[in-house]
Amino acid sequence: MTTPRAGQIAERLTAYAEELRAAGAIRTDPVQAAFASVPRHRFLPHFRYRAGDYTLDTTSEPPGEVLDIVYANNALLTHTGGDGNPTSSSSAPSIMAKMLEALELRPGLRTLEIGAGTGYNAALVHHITGAPVVTVEFGRHTATEAATALRALGLHEGVRVIHSDGYLGYPDGAPYDRIIVTCGIAGIPPGWLDQLAPDALIIASVAHAGVHPILAISYHGYHGSGALEGRALLWGDFMPAAGPLRPAGLFHHDPARDIPTTDARHVPDAGPVLDHSQYHDLWCYLGTRDTRITRAYPDTDAFDLTLGACALLDPDAGTAWIHTDGTMTTTGNPEIGDQLATLVQRWDITGRPRVGDWTMQWRDPNPAGLLLPHRWRLRHR
């Protein structure tokens, strides 16, 4: 392996930010400047990418082939969960950039982040705002590593890492103008509202149909007295939060539990042929129309997983998957496939609404103590 020449990191950062802007993930100069300035590799003492495991000396420049991985649009696994700590990762930079753009950051805005991960995202936020950032991390080892990386870059006074459960937020740093959530949650804790400044904005990955699309949630009120308004931004998925932010009891299916498919049937021409973006649009629609829609995986090679794992799952009747090539796979009662096919047809007839066409309301706290999205409605296009 070769060591990069002096100044290569700066060149990499500039090119990396320019590529994200050319791809449409970055839209504004402040966000581009942040990605061109904050060195991602300094937050990655170790990570896994595909079949490789990498350990970096973050005080020196990594080999060029490692930089190729780090400064590309790659999500990197940083904690596998095998050591008793929660799984954690550094998200794909394009998703990070889109969320930061949606956050509408500007100088002086105080920000609370739920899910510190490596600390890289919080450093980007601080670069844009120049204001205090509090980032809360449930995993002890992950929180320690994030704090270490921020201190090594001299950012520890601007970005504070809290090892805690994100459900409570962090009242000592309030009020916050922005909250960004970088782990999959089920809903919004009412206690967060007490920590928000008037007209605050939350960008969060919230559970819907077995995944975690990214929602923009506006808050109009003061000290917990006000209303939330939500709209879908883009399709996405994040590692589920640990603890009360995403209680398992709220979900009828855990995607980690494979579905028996010994009686799987293949149904041709069950729906339209779709690209991945259209498939996500369909998936979002299906989730607004039937609470049984989820992500599900077969326990055999009943179908190619790259064709999509969006399923209508009824524990008492069976499971039906719709795929990007227009085919369907079903188990159990064939009627479950008919039900899914009808929903797919309705999406097509409705004009194939996109992920970003939806708004939602937020119901009062349920026994889980979370404000949950409901009454998904289409905006006028």
| Residues forming the active site | 91
| CA dihedral (191, 195, 197, 200) positive or negative | negative
Which of 175, 143, 171 is closest to 159 using CA atoms?
143
**Distance in angstroms (rounded) separating the CA atoms of residues 301 and 295:** 16
Which of 330, 208, 229, 202 is closest to 281 using CA atoms?
208
In this structure, which amino acid lies at residue 294? Answer: T
* φ/ψ (deg, to 5) at 112: -110, 125
Number of Cβ within a 10 Å radius of residue 187: 23
